[in-house]
Amino acid sequence: MKKILVTRKPPKYLLEHLKEEFEVEVWNSEEQKIPQEVLFQYIDQVDGILCLLTDQITKELIDKGKKLKVISNLAVGYNNIDLDAATSNGIIVTNTPGVLTETTADLTFALLLATARRLIEASNELRMGNWKTWAPMMLAGRDVHGSTLGIIGLGDIGAAVARRAKGFGMKVIYHNRTPKPELEKEIDINYSSQEFLLRNSDFVCILTPLTAETQNLISLDELKMMKETAVLINTSRGGIVNENDLVTALSTGMIWGAGLDVYEEEPLPTDHPLLSLRNVTTLPHIGSASVQTRLKMWDLAALNLTYALQGKEPPSAVNEIGDK
């Protein structure tokens, strides 16, 4: 029987299902991540791991996994895995695209609305007893309808956000390395250079993966191009937006506000300068966090792992390899 390691507590039904097929080791905690030394302890004993974006699957770890055939990530992003090391060792890497697209688009749009209309701040003011009267400019935000949304990274989630934006009467422009003419016609959106998008958008939404190319994609130069009234939304990965530069931009009025779900360091330290700013809405990386979607992600991650270990093609592999 092949042996697998699951690095966080899976749903009960799924664990039972996996046990019919494999010998299963589980890090049986919902809240605490598996320590790196425990990963090292198991990696040379297992044929596959089902891991989370909080697990650092480094070259050193991969090189130690002499029997390892598959790394199944419970996320669409896989920047936590050294893909080159896995590929050169003949290890299949899989992710969970598609099943989380609409849920993450919902959260992205919710964060855009919450930031534009200062919803969290307004709710906190009320709870703190600061609501003394109705005032003309009290907690006044920015209009969403009729404004321009610029999406950098119009993939699955970006397109789903664009569809929502059209329903809110927004004009949508986007930037990718490759234009998507079919989608432009279907959703009624326009391709633009990144600079045009930054200079002309009221809301800039980042939805690229984190790669060597997108690291610090939005830094001081890019923030300076944005309108003083603009809002930056990042629900993709920390590291794409340079946080020191974002703090500068938000605290000097270079841009109006930001809505963030992801950070360079997660969990975000509670003394982080971002948390001292009024004009930033912060969420703890909950983009795909609906019950239905998280279960679908578990199911897909388990299917990817099972297929790979049965010698079948997994539904969502991110690398191509020959026989190990």
Residues in contact with ligand NAP by CB under 6 A are 76-77, 97, 100-101, 104, 152-158, 175-178, 207-210, 213-214, 235-237, 261-262, 285, 287-288
CA distances to 70, 80, 228 from 276, rounded to whole Å, are 42, 28, 20
237 is catalytic: yes
CB of 1 to ligand NAP, least distance (A): 33
CB of 75 to ligand NAP, least distance (A): 7
Q: Give 47 or 236: the residue with its C-beta nearer to ligand NAP.
A: 236
| Residue indicated by tokens 């330290």 | 269
- Report d(CA 270, CA 115) in Å as an integer: 20
Out of 266, 272, 313, 320, the active site residue is 266
285 is catalytic: yes
Out of 285, 294, 313, 320, the active site residue is 285
Which residue's CB comes closest to ligand NAP?
155
Out of 121, 175, 237, 243, the active site residue is 237
CB of 116 to ligand NAP, least distance (A): 18
For residue 277, what are its two tokens?
């700013």
177 is catalytic: no
| CB neighbourhood size of 13 (10 A) | 11
Cβ 205 vs Cβ 108: under 8 Å? yes
Burial call 256-269: b when 16+ CB within 10 Å, e when fewer = bbbbbbbbbeeebe
What's the DSSP call for residue 8? Answer: S
Return the sign of the alpha-carbon dihedral for residues 241, 244, 247, 249. Answer: negative
Q: Give 4 or 86: the residue with its C-beta nearer to ligand NAP.
A: 86
Query: Amino acid identity of 66?
Result: K
| CB neighbourhood size of 99 (10 A) | 20
CB of 83 to ligand NAP, least distance (A): 13
Q: Which residues are catalytic?
A: 237, 266, 285
